[in-house]
Structure 1
Amino acid sequence: MFIADSLGLDFLNSVATPIDTPVDWIDDGEGLIDWLSQAKLVPAEELDALKARVRRGELDEVADQTRALREWFRGFVLKHAGRPLTAQALQELGPLNSLLGRDEAFSRIEPAQEGGGVLALQRKRRWRSPEALMLPVGEALAKLVCEEDFSNVKACEGHNCTMVFADHTRRHARRWCIMAVCGNRAKQAAHRSRLKSRQ
């Protein structure tokens, strides 16, 4: 369900009610690993290595912490959605800054993968513990806070839908998470309502 046009908002959408039934894609450690893999936030070989050396319960604990981070951040986003962030928002971001402060990132020169150069400076991270899996999520949330105009952050208008997205359309008129799902359901409901009012 990567439809938000922002990885930080896609993280919030990792629990959603797209079609009347709530679904949590990070309901346990295995779900967290799958979501991180699909989001391409952690290299596949690092995920495999981490899974091989930790107990399942440890991954479940990190999934619990990740869900708690998600719900805290959902409150922040919904509070500020629809208008630009101000400097006062920084006072609310203590939990996110605390997470970012635990990072063990470093830079390293490696063969270039794109462009014309032979070598490139690449940012790397040490994946020493299961908790390190939360660090790229924290980065995605920080990028959302620092780079996205919160005026464009919206909640889907679909009935019972809990998805959020960044509206990057030219006229900022996007109303639905997925037009084929929530948009069509709204059109069908409006059509039924019109037919009922004619009777």
Structure 2
Amino acid sequence: MSADNAPGGLALVQELVNTLDVESGRDVLASPGDTAEFLERHCLPRLPAGEITELARLREALRAVLLVHAGHLPTTAVPARTGAGAANGSAADPTAELNRLLGAGPLLLRVGPGGAADLVPVDHLRGVSFVTARVAAAVAEGVREGSWRRLKACEATDCRWAYYDRSPAGRRRWCSMRVCGSRAKMRAYRARRRDG
């Protein structure tokens, strides 16, 4: 797991995806206290238990798209079912589930006194719809700034940690070359020796 933090609003997206540690199985969204702490840290409203399940679906749909950003084909992007709230989205199109979920969080273009414009959650939104709108606004900000495609999920099936790819070419595959990259290279080396 790397400490490559995403810029701006994408930090929320990255931290949401990383509420599930695939390697250890620790799921922040499975604990009401940890969930409340996560939401509070991001100035988000507390959610009833039923809405936390929807937030976990959003997390896994985001992870699937971040795997596509890392170079996985959409048919292989949806991770194995992990944690209490793992998504059961379409393996053929991970964006379909994400688009469905983001539809529950509409945005409004608001112009400030100085003329600057931002996408913000529609005023009447509450609960998970408000959280979803904040995530959608963060993604839109990332698209505008060209940073969205650099937010990725680790290729290692036992990791899938979200990281921000700061490499010059933007082609990193693992959250950490020292850990996940080394493990993958060692497995490939052993397979070649076994087959050779």
- TM-score, normalisation: structure 1: 0.54
> How far 1:73 sits from its partner (Å)?
2.6
Give the match for residue 127 of structure 2. Answer: 130
- Verify the 8 A CA contact 2:4 2:165 in the aligned structure 1: no
Larger Rg: 1
Q: Distance in 1 between matches of 2:112 and 2:24?
A: 45
TM-score if structure 2 supplies the norm length?
0.54
Larger helix share, 1 or 2: 1
Cα displacement (A) at 1:159: 7.0
What 5-or-longer segments of structure 2 have no aligned partner? 73-92, 191-196
Checking the alignment, whether the CA contact within 8 Å between 1:3 and 1:10 is kept in structure 2 is: no
Q: How does 1:120-159 map to 2 (within 5 A)?
A: 126=123, 129-131=126-128, 132-144=130-142, 147-148=146-147, 150=149, 152-156=150-154
Query: Conserved in 2, the CA contact under 8 Å of 1:100 and 1:138?
Result: yes
The alpha carbon displacement at 1:98 in A equals 1.2
Alignment RMSD (CA, Å): 4.4
Distance 1:27 1:135 in 2: 22
**Is the counterpart of residue 27 in structure 1 residue 30 in structure 2?**
yes
Distance in 1 between residues matched to 2:143 and 2:55, nearest whole Å:
18
Asked if the contact 1:153/1:165 (under 8 Å) is kept, the reply is yes
Distance 2:50 2:162 in 1: 26
Q: 1:28 to 1:120 in 2, by over 3 A?
A: farther
Equivalent residue, structure 1, for 2:17: 12
Match status 1:67 vs 2:56: yes
How far is the alpha carbon of 1:170 from its aligned partner?
A: 2.7
